[in-house]
Structure 1
Amino acid sequence: MAEDGSTQSAITYALVKFAFQVKWEDAEFVFSEVTGLTAEAQVIEYRGGSSKVNSTVKMPGLLKYGNVTLKKGMFKGDNAMWEKFKALKMNTYKRATILISLLDESNEVAMSWTLLNAFPVKLTVTDMKSDANEVALESIELAHEGLSLAEKK
């Protein structure tokens, strides 16, 4: 029987990426873009001096996580990102757990990723042009110590 479209099939239709939410500790922030959810294993290459093979052995090494960038529109009186960034002091920032969730067609959480021990490292304010016709954006870049797929509750 053909799919009639009345319900979304978990196998047939992939999730869309334009519906998501970001929770920074207990607060929910509205962002227009999240980029940088990356994890990679560094490669260790080793070759013993008496090896008869003319190449190295490759092994997984330390895990490395990319910085995550969050972008949002600027609103009059909204200084939440400035407050987060302003709290930085040399190695004394209270690191945060950040939950980034992809939402399904009914606005329910479909998948979530957790950033462990995150803290802001860069804040960028919009470019300003007198002939531009676009929304003013600000972005905050976060460093963190781990990215994991969160368990669905």
Structure 2
Amino acid sequence: MVVAEDQKIRDIANAAFRFVVSIDGQGQAAFTECTLPVVEWEIERLKEGGTNNYVHQLVGQRKPASVTLKNGVGKSELMDWYLESMEGTITRKTITITLLNSEKKAVMVWNINSAFPTKWTGPQMQSDSKTLAIQSLELACGEVTASYE
């Protein structure tokens, strides 16, 4: 029965290394890493006079969120987008991140609207290293939605 339970877990769990990133509907270069945004809300605490056993917690504004994409250094539309933003042309785009199962079918999709570049980190280069030159791009997020496929 342990084998059956193990298979059940494998059917439910999906590997985090199978994902596709597209920007405004266009597939992009292969990414080595994609860190999804943390979506959290501000909480307003309201103390009520005479009620000392708890504090009311009211939902406030959503806190700012960001997504980080890492890929190999090279000419790409992603890098062009960042360079344009450095020149003062801020263009907001829609980012779609799709998690794939072992059969390369979509399992879950995250849509990030009104994203724009806020930070670029260049590769760390060492003469004795055998690793790829990886760059990182951080994007500010507008609305973040998720759906099962």
1:28-59 Cα offsets, whole Å, 9 max, x none, are 112110014210111110113x3332652112
Deviation of the 1:146 alpha carbon: 1.8
TM-score by length of 1: 0.82
Q: Equivalent residue for 2:45?
A: 45
What aligned pairs does 1:81-120 form with structure 2 within 5 A after superposition?
Answer: 81-88=78-85, 90=88, 93-120=90-117
Equivalent residues, number: 146
Decide whether the 8 Å contact of 1:36 with 1:66 is kept in 2: no
Q: CA RMSD in A?
A: 2.5
For residues 113 and 94 of structure 1, the distance between their equivalents in structure 2, rounded to whole angstroms, comes to 20
Q: Which residue of 1 aligns with 2:123?
A: 126
Paired residue secondary structure (2:63): strand
- TM-superposed CA distance for 1:93, in Å, is 1.9
2:67 matched to which residue of 1?
A: 68
Unaligned runs of 5+ in 1: none
Note closer, same or farther for the CA distance 1:27–1:80 as it changes in structure 2 (3 Å cut).
Answer: same
Q: What residue number does 2:31 align with?
A: 31
What amino acid maps onto 1:68 in structure 2? Answer: V
Structure 2 unaligned blocks of 5 or more? none
Question: Using a 3 Å threshold, how does the CA distance of structure 1 residues 65 and 15 change in structure 2: closer, same or farther?
Answer: farther
Moved more, 79-88 or 98-107: 79-88
CA contact (8 A) 1:126 1:138 kept: yes
1:128 partner amino acid: M
The answer as to 2:133 corresponding to 1:136 is yes
Q: Contact 2:93–2:114 at 8 Å: present in 1 too?
A: yes
Whether contact under 8 Å (2:25, 2:96) holds in the other structure is no
CA distance in 1, matches of 2:76, 2:101: 30
Q: Match for residue 146 of structure 2?
A: 149
1:51 & 1:87 partners in 2: Cα distance? 57
Percent identity over the alignment is 28
Q: Name the CA distance, whole Å, in 2 between partners of 1:112 and 1:128.
A: 34
Query: CA offset at residue 81 of structure 1?
Result: 2.8
Residue aligned with 1:100, SS:
strand
Change (3 A) 1:55 1:26: closer
Residue aligned with 1:32, SS: strand
Q: Secondary structure of the residue that 1:86 maps to in structure 2?
A: helix
Q: Which residue of 1 aligns with 2:58?
A: 59
